[in-house]
A and B are shown apart, each in its own frame.
Chain A
Amino acid sequence: MAFSEIIDSLVRIAGRENVLTEDEDRRVYSYDATSQWKAMPDAVVFPANTGQVEGIVRLADAKGVPLTPRGGGTNVSGGSVPIRGGIALVMTKMNRILSVEPENLSARVEAGAVLMDLQGALAARKLIFPPDPQSFLGATLGGIIAENAGGPVCVKYGVTKQYILGIKAVIPAAGRAVEFGGVTVKNVVGYDLVSLITGSEGTLGVITEAVLRLMPLPAARKTLLALFDDLPKAGEAVGMVFDSGTVPAKIELLDNWVIRSINRTAGMKLPENAAAMLMFELDGRPEAVESDAAKVMRVCMAAGATGTTAAGNDAEALSWWRARSAGFAAVFSAAPTVLAEDVTVPRSRMPEFIRKVTGICKTMGLEVTVIGHAGDGNLHPSVLTDQKNAAHFEKAKIAVDRIVEAAIEFGGVLSGEHGIGLEKMKFMRRTQDPFFIEAMKQIKKTFDPRGIMNPGKIWED
């Protein structure tokens, strides 16, 4: 069957205006937020409802056409890049918030709803969906679930999978939409397939709806900064804070590169020579927040901080978090090619690990920035390089290999939140038990026997 017939079928399913095949339309779906992965789909389709997704999945399955789901295209692992061509299935038009049920602390959303739009709708009812990937302005719930995204608040609240009660997904093997899970927090009916689909990176099926678990908006929040003249020292302070019996909602680590970057772009006036900064957010009842804040500042000073300060009001706190978010974003474009790692080590090993990373890069003469969600040991050491400079790029890749090896050696994992996609694929065989990879392949076969869903990702064939 010629591809043009497939296009005709897609048009019959989704309507002419929702099937794009022009060069420009395909080109803008060739990338994600990484600097080095790019591949054009042959067609781009925007489904309007689950029924259309079913039609598209059945068509792709029958014809063996690769089908790559895409939400906001904000992932940083090459996950939504249609590396084998075929169809880019863009979920952005399915963006409704279907219901919010305060009495059940739950909401039902379509997969293409953007996280910030959801939070806006929830805030009006004093509710939140805790997972907070810092791409909340662009990331969709479907992409967040498919990547099992986390964010600063995981320290206290955990990651996406703890907040997904149910998923509706179109599964190729079923040829239709299947409801996994339900609407209750307690549910032990058989294997936990909701968790399996969460984090499956679009390789098992297309998520079209989800039932989310919500929390009440905390009564009070407070943001603190602590500055350090040494990066590993900041890592040590994190351990001491937990040791003191306080669990902040967020603990973010920013290094000198990011500090200077946000001074520039966000007009902050942080000391240019500070080696590191920790940003804390405490939340809960107002009195508890105040006393915890005082304690965290004391502990940081005891850990060797050169200074601490608290945001005077919510607006100032918001501007600091915006700056932090922009600072992280800036890292991903700090050089023509940025190899941004997502390793996660046990919190207690973090200072050692940071020393190791900076050591590796220093001896190799490479520039690296170390930022991350320090509260849960999830770091993004990012090596700045340029793919076009072959020698430099090779060296950078070797450095990244060593960083990953070090993380595993320290009892950590390859990826904390960004997923494997294309970017981390080559590490899988080296770092994982062969049975684990084989089991994933078998699971994929059960869901997607013809291998149409986001092919070429997670493991090397």
Chain B
Amino acid sequence: MKTSGSLENIRKFRADVEQCMKCGFCGYFCPVYRESRMEKGLARGKNQLIKATLTGEQGLTRGFYEAIDNCLLCKTCVQYCPAKTRIDRAVTAARADYAADAGLPLAKSLVLRFVLPNRRLFGAALRFASWFQHVLPGSGGRFRHLPHFLAALGAGRTIPEIAPRFLRSLLPENNPAPGPARRRVAFFPGCAAEFVFPETAAMLVRTLNGLGCDVVLDRRQGCCGAAAYFSGDFETGRRLARKNVSALEGYDSIVTGCATCGAGLREYAVYLAGDAAEKRRLEAFASRVADFSEFVVMLLSENAGGLQLNPGFEGRKATWHDPCHLSRHQEIREQPRKILKAVAGLEFVEMPGADRCCGLGGSFSITHFEASKRIADLKAESIAASGANLVVTACPGCIIQLRDAISRRRMKVEVAHIGELFSVKGAARADNPG
């Protein structure tokens, strides 16, 4: 057995690690466990293994890694745990200690360290799939630990096209509001909006313009780093965090349309601070981050009446899928529903289990492909049960996963980002960007 590494992070999150009282209630909620029915996949099992590293009983072994790798970080266990155990923190900390001790698998570290931080290279890599496989030796030609939305590209899912023009060639750096501006905000597109959904991102920017915001697409920002540090590569996470924080901390608000980026930016403070001063700086940064729907509702002062439905969505029956990174990581549940209920021309229905994880969970969708698909199937069943013909959400990863599950089942349901649905009344419509 390998000896334990420094356990620096596990120690730091000791309170979370030791909180679990083994009641087993999480068995009903943990999507991974509900598929595998094996304790090592259960929140309780993961937590007990992590706890056992502190007494020296458990080493940072390959088997240990399998347990902590087998987690969506969906926080469903956290939501329902009677002891309020934050398994996501214990797992993330354990991943970091494992990575520091054993190193990340080669393919993963190559992508996380070199490709993602460098957008030009990343863009090129995506264009040339063959070259991509070349940077992923030993991964069997499959993508590992890419940003959540891109992880889904491997393993036989319906693959979204890489956009012909990336966001930064679609929009300028400064996008002023048409009239007098009420505020100046930074827009954080994240990799998905940059490379795969730039048109949607452009619509979000227009909506913010319409609501009186000067929107800056600060060219100094980069990948949010969630994919890296949620999978334990704190070093890359720190590098990206520092880059984004120094680029964006001067803005009053940093708005993103990507639930994962939002969670990633906000949680820098939880995991990545080197010292107390940096922690304060990251916390201050986190307090400026806003999700798009949260921000829009705030601007409309809790009244979404100033929005109008874009053509094509008229008369649709819409339901909302809560991305884990939005609902449980950022506690944003009401705002998107407010918008969907207020915009005239749309019928809103709740699906059963709207906040159940779609099963993507970043690299989980690759490393645990079958389980990921089965979890997505459950979501597709919920959608079908709601009778909706439009699923609205706010996370590119979820969008890809849901589209795939829906098309596999040949359901006649469209999946859209909430920002595609509406524009601001009276403002120039945003369906024709660029």
Contacts and interface: CB of A to CB of B under 8 A. Distances in A.
A265 B84 contact: yes
A28 B45 contact: yes
A329 B66 CA distance: 29
A27 B52 CA distance: 9
Contacts of B84: 265
Nearest to B19: A333
Contact of A135 (B24, B38, B42): B24
A92 B36 CA distance: 9
Interface string A170-187: 000000000000000000
B61 A137 contact: no
Interface in B15-35: 19-29
Interface residues of B, number: 33
B21 A31 contact: no
Contacts of A32: 22
B63 interface: yes
Interface in A61-116: 72-74, 90, 92-93, 95, 112, 114, 116
Interface size class of A (residues with CB under 8 A): 35 or more
Contact of B63 (A24, A33, A112): A24
A29 B63 contact: no
Contacts of A20: 38
Contact of B21 (A112, A139, A330): A330
A257 interface: no
A400 B42 CA distance: 33
B130 to A, nearest CB: 34
A329 B52 contact: no
B48 interface: yes
A91 to B, nearest CB: 9
B83 interface: yes
Contact of A72 (B19, B27, B48): B27
A86 to B, nearest CB: 17
Nearest to A120: B28
Nearest to A24: B63
B48 A137 contact: no
A46 interface: yes
Contacts of A332: 21, 23
B37 A93 contact: yes
B237 to A, nearest CB: 26
Contacts of B57: 27
A135 B25 contact: yes
A325 interface: yes
A25 B64 CA distance: 9
B28 A330 contact: no
B67 interface: yes
A93 B36 CA distance: 8
Contacts of A35: 21
Given A138-B23, A138-B28, A29 B82 contact: no
Contacts of A46: 37-38
A75 B82 CA distance: 17
A294 B39 CA distance: 46
B37 A95 contact: yes
Interface in B99-142: none
A330 B82 contact: yes
Contacts of A326: 82-83
A330 B82 CA distance: 7
Most buried by B among A25, A28, A29: A28
Interface in B51-93: 52, 57-58, 61, 63-64, 66-67, 80, 82-84
Nearest to A73: B24
B145 interface: no
Most buried by B among A73, A90, A114: A73
A138 B24 contact: yes
Given A72-B27, A114-B27, A265-B82, A24 B38 contact: no
A135 B64 CA distance: 27
A434 to B, nearest CB: 35
A418 to B, nearest CB: 13
A460 interface: no
B40 interface: yes
Interface in A323-345: 325-326, 329-330, 332-333
Most buried by A among B66, B82, B84: B82
Contacts of A329: 21, 23, 25, 82-83
Contact of B25 (A22, A24, A25, A138): A138
Nearest to B27: A138
B215 to A, nearest CB: 38
A85 B47 CA distance: 22
Nearest to A74: B24
Nearest to B80: A137
Nearest to A93: B37
B21 A33 contact: yes
Most buried by B among A20, A135, A333: A333
Contacts of A22: 63
A35 B20 CA distance: 11
B49 interface: yes
B277 interface: no
A73 B39 contact: yes
Contact of B22 (A25, A31, A137): A31
Contacts of A316: none
B24 A25 contact: no
Interface string B8-19: 000000000001
25 contacts: A22-B63, A23-B58, A24-B61, A24-B64, A25-B63, A28-B39, A28-B40, A28-B49, A31-B48, A33-B21, A33-B22, A33-B23, A73-B22, A74-B24, A90-B39, A135-B25, A137-B25, A137-B29, A138-B23, A138-B26, A138-B27, A265-B84, A329-B21, A329-B25, A329-B83
For the complex of A and B, 5 pairs with smallest distance between CB atoms? A333-B21, A138-B24, A326-B82, A24-B63, A137-B28
Interface of A: 20, 22-25, 27-29, 31-33, 35, 46, 72-74, 90, 92-93, 95, 112, 114, 116-117, 135, 137-139, 265, 325-326, 329-330, 332-333
